[in-house]
Amino acid sequence: MEGGGQMIRITGCLSALLQMPVNMIKIRAGRASPGLKAQHLSGLHLIKEMSHGSLQGADFGSKEICFNPGKVHGGDYHADTKTAGAVCLLAQISIPVALFAPEPTVLNLRGGTNTDMAPQIDAFTEIFLPNLKHFGTDIEFEVVRKGFFPKGGGEANFFVKPMKSLKPILLDNPGKLVSVEGWCFCAGALPIKVAESIAQSFKEELRQVNSPALRGVKVNIETYKESPNAAFGNGSGIVVVARTSTGCVLGGGALGTPKESTEETGRKAAHDLLEAVECGGCVDKYVQDQMILFMGLADGESLLRTGPVTLHTESAIFITEQLTGAKFTISNDANNNSWLITCKGVGYHNKYL
């Protein structure tokens, strides 16, 4: 299926939780640069420490590893990719493990907070974590410093309270859009006009498209430049959050890059948001696959209405079913132009509480 780092993250954290030794082979074999990269290694070593396990073969570029987890412990943990490797991907592999520790966990994660091919830290904290609360989680965060490609240097802390079990979710009704707010930033040597141009282009594109879903909804975008101590290096981006009458949180965004104009960045973010609010689902395509692992572990039957099911989601379902025994079904609701993902969770319980 997807065959990338997602396989490592889901397999690794489920292995740690279930105390199930795993052997991963042909790691990222289909990628142009196969094998483990810095962020994958940092994530694996992090859950090895959290589970007091052992890890063999975990070297840069390795295509095969063996992970033998032990007992999960809470406490303070630190992981640093020492590159622009994504902080949010470190959070993805470690937060599920921390939720089932015997005591609270503090995760100090360093690397790239706003980089390509991964969620921006603002999207992770303002879109994904609110969706995760449907399962009953209690997670606080602190963004210490943003970091960008190619040097990284970003830092974020996550404070995870352990829980006995995850509640099943019922996210079936997308409701109507009631608010759209966002943050458009620049940092380092980039002037504030970079962020202003991105935000202006974003708003103009929304006006030109004139989507029925956005009619009558005020769009509020805050534009600012990060203070020198709140960012490392040069970067820019925009993250937008859409909230609905039924409590759904969806979003979109785009990362600035020297390879494209600020106007193009704004337009990309606008179409990203439009895809989310018009998909007919209760979550956007970036959150969709992230809900699967938690649905599989939840205590009861979950239902999630989504837009088109992504390959990442299909891959997450495949791995979660294989390792946990949870059963998923996907059906198309043609009347509402959406898909329904149901799951009979295994009711995984925190054995330490």
28 is a domain residue: yes
Same structural domain, 106 and 157:
yes
Which CATH number is 140's domain given? Answer: 3.65.10.20
What is the total count of domains within the chain?
2
pLDDT value for 1: 80
**Full domain range(s) for residue 92:** 5-171+283-344
**Residue 297, pLDDT score:** 98
Residue 352 placed within a domain: no
Question: How far apart (Å, rounded) are the C-alpha atoms in residues 94 and 158?
Answer: 10
84-93 per-residue burial string, b: 16 or more CB within 10 A, e: under 16: bbbbbbbbbb
Does residue 350 fall inside a structural domain? no
Q: Determine the length of the chain.
A: 353
- 154 and 259 both lie in a single domain: no
For 29, other C-beta atoms within 10 Å of its C-beta total 11
Distance CA 351, CA 261 (A): 52
Task: Report the predicted TM-score, pTM, of the whole model to 2 decimal places.
Answer: 0.97
| pLDDT by residue, tens only, the chain of 353 residues | 877 899 999 999 999 999 999 999 999 998 889 999 999 999 999 999 999 999 999 999 999 999 999 999 999 999 999 999 999 999 999 999 999 999 999 999 999 999 998 999 999 999 999 999 999 999 999 999 999 999 999 999 999 999 999 999 999 999 999 999 999 999 999 999 999 999 999 999 999 999 999 999 999 999 999 999 999 999 999 999 999 999 999 999 999 999 999 999 999 999 999 999 999 999 999 999 999 999 999 999 999 999 999 999 999 999 999 999 999 999 999 888 899 999 999 999 999 89
Pick the last residue of a domain from 223, 243, 277: 277
Residue identified by tokens 């890059």 is 257
For residue 351, being part of any structural domain is answered with: no
Regarding whether 214 and 320 lie in a shared domain, the answer is no
What is the model's pLDDT at position 11?
97
Query: Which residue in the block uniquely carries the two structure tokens 């989601």?
Result: 313
Closest CA to 20 of 11, 10, 28, 33: 11
The secondary structure of 53-93 as a DSSP string is: -EEES--TT-S-EEEE------EEEEEE-SSS-BHHHHHHH
Residue 106 placed within a domain: yes
Residues 185 and 253 in one domain: yes
Which positions are annotated as active-site residues? Answer: 312
Torsion, Cα 108 109 114 117, to 10 degrees, reads -150
Q: Are residues 338 and 218 in the same domain?
A: no
Confidence (pLDDT) at 4? 86
Last residue of a domain, one of 248, 277, 306: 277
Answer yes or no: do 189 and 322 share one domain. Answer: no
Handedness of CA 250, 178, 184, 255 (dihedral sign): positive
- State yes or no: cis peptide before 69, omega within 30 of 0: no
State the pLDDT at residue 131: 98
Residue with tokens 């079990």: 165
The C-alpha atoms of residue 297 and residue 351 are separated, in whole angstroms, by 13
Q: Domain boundary residue among 257, 277, 297?
A: 277
